[in-house]
Amino acid sequence: MATELEELIGFLSSPSPQITKVAVDIVRGLTGSDDGLQSLTKYAKTVLPSLSRLLAGPKEVSEPSAEALVNLSQNSNLAAEMVQLGMIKTAMEVLYKPECTIACLLVMLLVNLTQLDAGSASLLQTDDDKMHGLYVMKLVRSFCRTTHESHDDPFEHVGSILVNISKQQAGRKLLLDPKRGLLKQIIRQFDSNSSLRRKGVFGTLHNCCFEAESQLQNLLLISEFLWPALLLPVAGPKLYSEQDTSKMPLELGTALSIEREPVTDAEIRVQALEAIYLIVLQEAGRRAFWSVNGPRIIQVGYEDEQDPKVMEAYEQLGSLLIQSGGTEEPSSESTNQ
């Protein structure tokens, strides 16, 4: 005897579009409540594939289906099931069909799914030699091409996906790969007006710096984008003197000699400082940091910092800089000929 719920789920696969529409609306409603979620979990094996199929349908069914899946994916067991069913692939395929109307929901679904290691691995396509990294490249391109300017910013959440995949080494390697230039593109969004985008950029950058030990060159060689992104948020509100800025690369120096908006998100400031810390742990990173007059910026920025967590991060970085030696001038000998 099929229960009501089983019947309902069965209707999701009905040949009649009116029936599926009603069914999926009801299912979506159920996923909005804890009880509903509980009941549906029991039928994961049938409801998930059915919803997945509806994603490819017209908006009237794909939208509620996507919403339902987003809700369901907040449960990690269900998320794991979805990843196993190949939901990442399905989502990416539907996302990049021309005229996709549920882009934002699909991106949110991917955010939830990539919270799991298996989800990240699936998005990274680590098993696929030929296509490896293709999904991520597409998402990064979408993230960087669209901005918050348009009213709906469907790819706004991609930053969070990148934070998730950068928790895995394979993800960091992909993002740091100089041939693909993904990190370079992502960093450029650091001063976006969307706080969600900014959070995504800094979270990703922070995670990538954990590869500083083995891939320092891939971080330092994009230094013209890296240093402004990391240093502007922690430079404090003051205008810097000519004496200070003359020792910095042109863009950084110019940015610090004019009025600027403070970065109010304390978490971003902490992440920036921690990322710098990881770079400065490496000898060449230290040298590069000194050569852009970084320590001076940290010193000045600290003066106006009031958030205790951020202050702690400044202090940690400061003591590392002191420990690892004073002014590190590059030692070059010149021979006059």
Partner 1 sequence: MALWMEKDSEPLTESEKADLDAIAALKESAAIELKEKGNQYVKMGKKHYSDAIDCYTRAINQKVLSDSENSVLFANRAHVNLMLGNYRRALTDAEEAIKLCPSNIKAFYRAAKASLSLNLLAKAQSHCRNGLQLDPNNEELKKLGQQIDLKKAEQDKHEAEVSKAVAEAKELVLAIENRGLKIGKAMFRELTGLKKPVLDKNNILHWPVLLLYAEVMSSDFIEDFCETDMFSVHLDMMFADDQPLPWDDKSNYKREFIELYYEAGSGVCLSRAKLLHSLLEGTAASQQESAGDEEKDAVHGSNHVNTGAPKWVKVNERSTLHDVLKDPNFIIPGIPVFYVVSKRSSFYGKFKAGKWTPPSI
Nearest-angstrom CA–CA distance, 212 and 92: 31
Q: How far apart are CA 19 and CA 320, in angstroms?
A: 65
Sign of dihedral through CA atoms 143, 146, 151, 154? negative
**CA neighbor of 279 nearest in space, from 224, 210, 327:** 210
Q: Which is nearer to partner 1, 74 or 246 (CB)?
A: 246
Residue closer to partner 1, measured from CB, 50 or 218: 218
Instruction: Tell which residue, 165, 83, 91, has the closest CA to residue 118.
Output: 83
Query: In whole angstroms, what is the distance from residue 145 CA to residue 284 CA?
Result: 33
Smallest gap from residue 235 Cβ to partner 1 (A): 17
Between CA 75 and CA 167 the distance in angstroms is 20
For residue 317, the minimal CB distance to partner 1 (Å) is 18
- Looking at residue 101, the DSSP 8-state letter turns out to be S
Question: Nearest distance from residue 287's CB to partner 1, in Å?
Answer: 6
Residue 131 structure tokens: 């296509």
CB of 233 to partner 1, least distance (A): 21
8 A C-beta contact, residue 24 and residue 65: yes
For the bound state, the minimum distance from the C-beta of residue 220 to partner 1, rounded and expressed in Å, comes to 5
- Please, what is the minimum distance in Å from the beta carbon of residue 258 to partner 1? 16
Q: Which residues bind partner 1 (CB under 8 A)?
A: 178-179, 215-217, 220-221, 223-224, 246-250, 253, 282-285, 287-288, 291-292, 329-337
E strand or H helix that includes residue 194? none
- Name which of 306 and 334 has its Cβ closer to partner 1: 334
Q: Is 105 or 182 the residue whose CB approaches partner 1 more closely?
A: 182
Q: In terms of CB distance, is 254 or 316 closer to partner 1?
A: 254
Neighbours of 64 (CB within 10 A): 24
Closest CB to partner 1 among 129 and 333? 333
CB of 138 to partner 1, least distance (A): 23
The helix or strand, by DSSP H or E, that contains position 292, with its residue range, turns out to be none
- In the DSSP assignment, the letter for residue 232 is G
Which is closer to partner 1, CB of 108 or CB of 220? Answer: 220
3-state secondary structure 14-36: CCCHHHHHHHHHHHHHHHCCHHH
